[in-house]
Amino acid sequence: MSSSSSSSISSKRNAEFQPENPCYCGLPSRVRTSRTKDNPGKKIRLCPNSMNEGPKCKFWEWLEPETPENEVNSGKDKKEPCNLTLKVSILENEISICKMKMEQENLVVRQEFEKLKWKLFTHKVVMIMLFLLFVFKK
């Protein structure tokens, strides 16, 4: 989510009201244009109260650009927003799975390392014993 400061979203005069897409408060949402460094010119739908002082609705969603490619290939209504929350959840889940796999692999590597350390130790002990036998046998 981008910060909701007045400098990051276009002014209210340029906002387009959308009664068919109400926010969580039940008010018609507004479509504005982002002016942030990360998302310049990207359209966002948000609650008209999101820029006011006091309680905020926290409703917002990015709008997909209306390109012929999106209209033909998506099979969806072009006004239907992408479910970013679902996508973020899926990506977070994939990250968790990758972390678990890395931890398991790290555990296996540590176990192999401990085995090698033990072998090295036993070889040292054997070498010392052989050396002592050789010295005291003379």
Spatial CA neighbour of 45 closest among 10, 74, 71, 77: 10
List of residues 6+ apart from 39 with CB closer than 8 A: 2, 62
89: buried, middle or exposed (CB in 10 Å: 19+, 13-18, 0-12)? exposed
**Range name among 29-38, 78-87, 129-138 with the lowest pLDDT average:** 78-87
Spatial CA neighbour of 61 closest among 43, 36, 75: 43
How many residues belong to the chain?
138
pLDDT digits (tens, 9 = 90+) for 59-97: 778 887 765 554 444 444 444 455 777 888 889 889 999
* Structure confidence at residue 33 as a pLDDT band (50, 70, 90): confident
Q: What is the pLDDT of residue 75?
A: 47
* Structure confidence at residue 130 as a pLDDT band (50, 70, 90): very high
List of residues 6+ apart from 65 with CB closer than 8 A: 42, 43
Determine the average pLDDT of the residues in 121-136: 93
Spacing of C-alpha 74 from chain mean position: 23
